[in-house]
Amino acid sequence: MLVVNRRAGERVYVGEDVVITVCATRRGHVRLGIAAPPEVRILREELSDHSLSSSEAPPSPLLATALPIAAAAS
C-alpha cells in the first residue's frame, strides 16, 4: 500500500487515466474527487462486499459517478 500526505487541492495520479484530488479535509474527514474514464468502476468500501464481476445485479445508486478527466480539470 502506498501512503501519501496531501493537502486540499493536491492530486494523486493512478496510471494515466485516474486522478484523485483532495477536495477538503476537516475534523478527521477527507473529501476526495475522483476523475476516471466511465469504464472504471469506483466503489466505496462499505459496498465492496458485492461482486464487481457480477453482471446479474443491477447497478447500485450508491456508486460514485466518474467524471471525464478533461471535465474534472476545469
Q: Specify which residues 56 forms β-bridges with.
A: none
The three-class DSSP label of residue 11 is: strand
DSSP symbols for 21-38: EEEEEETTEEEEEEE--T
| pLDDT of 45 | 82
For residue 63 the three cell numbers come to 456508486
Asked if residues 11 and 3 have their Cβ atoms less than 8 Å apart, the reply is no
**pLDDT in 10s for each residue of the chain, 74 residues:** 989 999 999 999 999 999 999 999 999 899 999 999 999 988 888 877 655 555 445 555 445 555 555 444 44
